[in-house]
Structure 1
Amino acid sequence: MNTSKNRLYKHQDLVIRIFLVLFCTAIIVYFFPKSDRFKYDYAQGEPWEYETLYSPFRFAIMKDEEELAQERLEVIEQTPRHFYSIDIDQNELLENYDQSLKAGLADSIYDKYNRKIKSSVKEFLSNTYRQGYLEDVQDLKDIHPIVLKTGDDELQQLTYGDLITPKELNQQFVDLFADFPKEFNGVLTRRLKALIEPNIFYDQPITDLNIESELEKILPTRGLIAQNARIIAQGEIVEGDKLQILNTLNSTYESQTWSDSQYNWKLLGYVILVGMALTMLMLFIKKYRTEVYLSNKKLLFIYFNICLFAILTAAVVKLDAVFVYIVPVCMLPLIVKAFFDARLGLFSHVIIIFILSFVIPSSAEYLFLQIMAGIVTILSGKEIYKRANLFVTVGKIVLVYFISYFAFYAVYQGGITGWEWDRLLYFTLCGLAMLFVWPLIYVFEKIFNLVSDVSLLELSDTNSKLLKELSNKAPGTFHHSLNVANIAETIANEVGANAMLVRVGALYHDVGKMANPTYFTENQGNGINPHDDLDPEESAQIIIDHVIHGVEIAKKYNLPDRIIDFIRTHHGDSLVYYFYKRELDENPELDESLFRYPGPRPYSLETAILMISDSVEAASKSLKSPSSVAIDKLVENIITTQMNNGQFLNADITLKQIEAVKTIIKKKLASMYHLRIEYPE
């Protein structure tokens, strides 16, 4: 059991990579459309360019959406609306009206006309409620059928025009009181209008249920096509019923042709093909990008992007394959190149295009267009952090799409008349979508804690706000940082490290000295040293604090964590030896932790390079006679001391690389001091 655990632990990285490939394969295949693709490509209004097509099986013709929509509209318009009636106490209403008139009319007028008014209103109420008064007016024609449910649950078949609405009721008021004197005619009308109530109400729930029931009766098909019946002959125009029959055959092909066994075999084929493609990508990374292969986080980032664009494209294909060119697949090589390099970006792009070609109609056209666009993306995607360059890249990609589509259309159709202008719009939208690569790179930097070339190039600008502040407050430190950056970048290029990352880390590694610039010798231009007035412990603490201040300033200016790592580690946990030695001479039992940097030690090749470059460049300023012998001795002593103190134990740097660093840094310092290296005979 222990042997098995040890073996698993020993190969855990390999297990993780295998699992990553298998998991991504499963995710991509899961989102792939599982239906079988119709092997013919056709478009409305164009001639059928294939052999005469016969029905492979018996199937019903599906109605198109326009036809179904028209049938639904007719059902909605013709379905009866439901209403219900309630009983109104007419005697109580008449009594209330009589009381209202008695209070509103003079006694002489009331006594004279009371009986006639009462008789007329009673007959009016009887006729109105017998016919039915609807106050909630519906948007229906008078001839629209309705169903009226009475108080005794009887259903009456009527038309909407049989009901009295407020507009008709107002006219009846006019007719009702036309024979009465005009001076109190308005009072009679207003009093009755205020008291009369509707007795018919619209039954919305029952009506909706009835309409829904009728809509469910609509058949999605019309007519049948017998097996082996001719569907369309070569040269015939794809339109009308022929177009609808082809669409039906296309949509029902899977259910009529694939059994469960065939479906499982097809699924297995997808898994094998996608798995092979992702495995080839992993092998490429292992052979040519070892530093990426050894980082689980970087591998996860690459495969995450592969899955992201594969799933996005598969979702669009499921929705409607015609929109597939809107998906900005060429964003993938731009993203990979921004974080790694162009070669890996192009290889990743080719892999995902191969994967997507399994499920996209006209896969040959798609394959050619996208690979050409990917190559153009890689070739023209230099300095993407500059807005103009990205716009130029997008313009070139869209132009490649246009030209390639024009060529394919000319090949397939023998001309360019009648081509799909919508396709050009999709290409343009794809280009516009690629402009979102900037915010997407920013999001990926935060999620995966990676630093892209875009951010590094921006940070390397010495006109940035923080570096300008450093040059103003601590000009000597700024000049020192530039020298360290040049040395470290040269070393990184030679030993295979990330040169841009090292350079940016070097530029910002001493920003903490801005807090107390005059306490560092490179900024003491007037010959006054403030440390002369301090004891060694206080001086050491000020020197040590520049690391802490640097981290605080870096966070304040939102520098990436990978750059802050250079600030934390560029002195490791080494001693501030000068002040420690001074204090040690007076106090032999001195606690050396008071004179030691907080660390941590460098834990990457890049941070180790910076520590060496920083220490050697700073120490070289103390050489009174910077000869080649003196430089050799200085470099050897500093790097050997750092090695003996264990500063590189956590860093991914080999002894061979350290020897290479020594050689490079000696040459670099010699060139800075205008010396000629003395080579052995």
Structure 2
Amino acid sequence: MGKTLDNVYKHQSLAYKYFLYLVSVALIVFFFPKGGKFKYEFQKGKPWQYENLYAPIDFSIKKTAEEIAQEQQSLRDNKTDYYTYDASIPEGIKQKVLQQLQTSFNGNSLSIRQQNALQNWASRVIDSVYDLGIFQELPGSSTVRVVKNNEARTVMSNNYLDNAKARNLTSRLFSQLQLAGDDNLLAIINNALEANIAYDEAFTDRALEDELSKISFTRGEVSEGRLIIAKGEVVEAENFKILDSLKAEYESELWGGTNFYFILLGYTILVALVLIMLFLFLKRYRVEIFKNNNKVTFIFVNILLMVLATTLMVKNNESYVFVVPLCILPLVLKNFFDARLGLFVHVLTVLILGFVVPNSFEYIFLQTIAGIVTILTASELYKRANLFISVGQITLIYIIGYFAFHTIHEGNLENIEWTLFGIFILNGLLTLFAQPLIYIYEKIFGLISDVSLLELSDTNSKLLKELSNKAPGTFHHSLQVANLAEAAANEIGANAMLVRVGALYHDIGKMENPTFFTENQITNVNPHDDLPPKESAKIIIDHVIKGIEIARKNKLPDRVIDFLRTHHGTTLVFYFFKKQQELEEEVDEAKFRYPGPIPFSKETAILMMSDAVEAASKSLKDPTFIMIDDFVEKIVRGQMQANQFLNANITLKEIEMVKKVLKQKLTNIYHLRVEYPE
């Protein structure tokens, strides 16, 4: 049972990676749009590279979104306006006019027959006017439909009447009167007229929606067995529409029934293969990252976020797929790790997204080129201008790439979708979000970026001020070591900012007992003179442990604490070890040796060399070029013989380059000049 638990404990890191892998594959496949994939790739303006294609099924030729939009706009532009006819108004006006006429007959010399004739004439005039109806406002279109008695009839513009035209009509009808009449009759009728036709906006909108709903999304049929395109034939506009229709029909039919499980299996296998490539890359070329579950999780979370954002965009509006700022991925990974890993992960993510985005070749090409440009141009993000310059170049690459593909497909610069330029600019603006995102990741995953390193390198920070006050000699030594290490790191292409920060903090443990270290002794009194060598060695060795405690208390990042742990490796406190040997023959060497670990990166190895060389250089008396050369060679050779660089990924050539820089810097510090003969 105990052995089983030991095995579980030893392999829990690997088990977590398996779990992360399976969850990531499942989530990515779940994010994917639910649809099959057409087995042919085709592009407008390019030759058909496959064998002759015959229609495998009967299918309809779908109209493009532009064609449907044009039809819809045409219906809107030529819509029929509907007006409502109010039949109660003419009846009311007729009653009102007849009453006024009856009143005017009192005391009048007209006979009963004449009065009846005038009343009949007035009724006919009102009926004639309201047979057409009077509009509240004259319509702007040449033809409208008027709804009268639940029946819509067409009215032409030459029959439109408003109040003014209605009065003109009554005047013409009055002039045709053959009977003797009342002069006030015309005035009575004209004063009584009012509009009874009003614009019915709701009815008009319903009628328009009804017409829009009748638009057909297809234009013609393709019967099974018909030749669609021959091998080598260029995919022209008409063929492209037919192929696109077949693709849509094929994918909609494919995703259903038992096909669902086969498609799901296919997606799962492809995504699993891509993520396996990532694990193999990490295990082979980034062993330190592979062993760190926190960093592996960080990489997978970034991939999942990009896949989620892109698939959501594809599901909602695939035209805006380039809005997703995919170049944030290589930016962030390069900032926390290195350029090669950032580009590799970016390419794998683009390959995954190539399964689901439209025009996958264009998408993969543009995103890959944009990722390469990001890796090549994005550096020193702690400098504000650098990120803006990099984003500008990324946006320019998108625009140039779009121009190139458009000219290939169309053969000209017509019909350019200018909205895509806005999409590319928006993509660039969203890419600027990388800066706050880096800060968020630092807090969540405990990583460290160049921006944080720049903040930590400020000598006015609380911890470094405390070091300069309590141990001024150590502080000065740390500054000198930082300058040496930074120059060496720049020479061999290591992280100069990281090694500088590590050098500034590597000896903060000396604040506990500053006078026990020679650089802080301002008098001739040495407290080690009153202590046995074992205790003195313990105090010297303990500055590493105490430094780690102080660093954790002040929440320094783990990558900086690594420099505190490794800057002496497992070397021997040689001076006190020799003094102890003078007192006794058998000496336990382990008590005089630093606990380690030994350096495990180029940066920590550089710090070990720079620290030892700078500290020992204080013992040089009247140094010359030859003395400095031998001095540096002796110290570094001793560290190599003690196997201190076995775990550091630093080559012999790089060590030689570091030694060369250290010699040059020490020569400058001691202001050595060439001795000319007298």
Interval of TM-score (by shorter of Structure 1 and Structure 2): 0.5 to 0.7
The Cα shift of 1:334 comes to: 0.7
Q: Residues of 2 paired with 1:547 and 1:588: CA distance?
A: 28
Q: Is 2:600 the counterpart of 1:605?
A: yes
Contact kept in structure 1, 2:34 and 2:255, CA below 8 Å? no
Q: Which amino acid aligns with 2:401?
A: S
Q: Which amino acid aligns with 1:400?
A: I
Contact kept in structure 2, 1:57 and 1:227, CA below 8 Å? no
Q: Residues of 1 paired with 2:581 and 2:386: CA distance?
A: 59
The aligned residue for residue 83 of structure 1 is none
Q: Residues of 2 paired with 1:253 and 1:222: CA distance?
A: 25
The Cα shift of 1:389 comes to: 0.4
Does the residue aligned with 2:258 lie in a helix, a strand or coil? helix
The aligned residue for residue 622 of structure 1 is 619
Give CA deviations for 1:422-464 in whole Å, capped at 9, x if unaligned. Answer: 3222222221111121222223233333333443355446676
The aligned residue for residue 309 of structure 2 is 312
After superposition, residues 591-670 of structure 1 pair within 5 angstroms as: 601-602=596-597, 604-606=599-601, 607=604, 610-611=607-608, 613-615=610-612, 617-623=614-620, 627=627, 653-654=646-647
Q: Residues of 1 paired with 2:588 and 2:630: CA distance?
A: 36
Q: 1:608 to 1:382 in 2, by over 3 A?
A: closer
Contact kept in structure 2, 1:616 and 1:638, CA below 8 Å? no
The aligned residue for residue 509 of structure 1 is 506
The Cα shift of 1:292 comes to: 3.5
The Cα shift of 1:352 comes to: 1.3
Contact kept in structure 2, 1:547 and 1:567, CA below 8 Å? yes
Q: Residues of 2 paired with 1:557 and 1:533: CA distance?
A: 33
Q: Which amino acid aligns with 1:506?
A: A
Contact kept in structure 2, 1:333 and 1:348, CA below 8 Å? yes
Q: Residues of 2 paired with 1:638 and 1:290: CA distance?
A: 24
Q: Residues of 2 paired with 1:59 and 1:389: CA distance?
A: 50
Q: Residues of 1 paired with 2:422 and 2:631: CA distance?
A: 68
Give CA deviations for 1:352-410 in whole Å, capped at 9, x if unaligned. Answer: 11211110112233223222221221121021121100011111112222232233334
Does the residue aligned with 2:314 lie in a helix, a strand or coil? helix
Structure 2: segments with no counterpart, 5+ residues: 42-47, 77-209, 229-235, 673-678
Q: Residues of 1 paired with 2:337 and 2:454: CA distance?
A: 13
Q: Is 2:28 the counterpart of 1:28?
A: yes
Give CA deviations for 1:572-611 in whole Å, capped at 9, x if unaligned. Answer: 7989786899899999999999x989x8632651456645
Contact kept in structure 1, 2:600 and 2:649, CA below 8 Å? no
Contact kept in structure 1, 2:612 and 2:635, CA below 8 Å? no
Q: Residues of 2 paired with 1:397 and 1:659: CA distance?
A: 38
Q: 1:224 to 1:412 in 2, by over 3 A?
A: closer
Q: Residues of 2 paired with 1:631 and 1:60: CA distance?
A: 78
Q: Residues of 2 paired with 1:588 and 1:35: CA distance?
A: 80
Does the residue aligned with 1:605 lie in a helix, a strand or coil? coil
Q: 1:441 to 1:488 in 2, by over 3 A?
A: same
The Cα shift of 1:482 comes to: 3.7
Relative to the length of structure 1, the TM-score reads 0.56
Q: Is 2:258 the counterpart of 1:265?
A: no
The Cα shift of 1:554 comes to: 4.0
Contact kept in structure 2, 1:60 and 1:224, CA below 8 Å? no
2:527 pairs with 508, 516, 531, which one?
A: 531
Q: Percent identity?
A: 51
Give CA deviations for 1:323-345 in whole Å, capped at 9, x if unaligned. Answer: 21111101111111112222222
2:359 pairs with 340, 344, 362, which one?
A: 362
The aligned residue for residue 295 of structure 2 is 298
Q: Which amino acid aligns with 1:334?
A: L
The aligned residue for residue 345 of structure 1 is 342
The Cα shift of 1:503 comes to: 3.6
Contact kept in structure 1, 2:569 and 2:599, CA below 8 Å? no
Contact kept in structure 1, 2:60 and 2:222, CA below 8 Å? no
Q: Residues of 2 paired with 1:368 and 1:264: CA distance?
A: 30
Q: Which amino acid aligns with 2:31?
A: F
After superposition, residues 57-456 of structure 1 pair within 5 angstroms as: 229=221, 255-456=252-453
Contact kept in structure 2, 1:583 and 1:590, CA below 8 Å? yes
Give CA deviations for 1:26-76 in whole Å, capped at 9, x if unaligned. Answer: 3211211112479999xxxxxxxx99x999558999999x99xx9xxxxxx
Contact kept in structure 2, 1:330 and 1:377, CA below 8 Å? yes
The Cα shift of 1:560 comes to: 1.3
Q: Which amino acid aligns with 1:264?
A: Y
Q: 1:424 to 1:54 in 2, by over 3 A?
A: farther
Contact kept in structure 1, 2:335 and 2:449, CA below 8 Å? yes
Q: Which amino acid aligns with 1:306?
A: I
Give CA deviations for 1:212-260 in whole Å, capped at 9, x if unaligned. Answer: xxxxxx9x986988997479x9979x9xxx9xxx99x999875545332
Question: Which piece of structure 1 moves more, 566-575 or 419-428?
Answer: 566-575
The aligned residue for residue 518 of structure 2 is 521
The Cα shift of 1:507 comes to: 2.0
Question: Which piece of structure 1 moves more, 543-552 or 507-516?
Answer: 543-552
Q: 1:54 to 1:422 in 2, by over 3 A?
A: farther
Q: Residues of 2 paired with 1:624 and 1:397: CA distance?
A: 56
Q: Residues of 2 paired with 1:250 and 1:658: CA distance?
A: 55
Does the residue aligned with 1:451 lie in a helix, a strand or coil? coil
Q: 1:278 to 1:227 in 2, by over 3 A?
A: same
Q: 1:406 to 1:671 in 2, by over 3 A?
A: closer
Contact kept in structure 1, 2:61 and 2:221, CA below 8 Å? no
Q: Residues of 2 paired with 1:668 and 1:603: CA distance?
A: 22
Does the residue aligned with 1:335 lie in a helix, a strand or coil? helix
Q: Residues of 2 paired with 1:589 and 1:288: CA distance?
A: 45
Contact kept in structure 2, 1:511 and 1:550, CA below 8 Å? yes
Q: 1:496 to 1:289 in 2, by over 3 A?
A: farther
Give CA deviations for 1:154-179 in whole Å, capped at 9, x if unaligned. Answer: xxxxxxxxxxxxxxxxxxxxxxxxxx
Q: Which amino acid aligns with 2:258?
A: S
Q: 1:637 to 1:268 in 2, by over 3 A?
A: closer
Q: Which amino acid aligns with 1:35?
A: G
What is the Cα-based RMSD across aligned positions, in Å? 5.8
Question: Number of matched residues?
Answer: 497
Give CA deviations for 1:284-330 in whole Å, capped at 9, x if unaligned. Answer: 44444444445444333323322221122112212221221111101
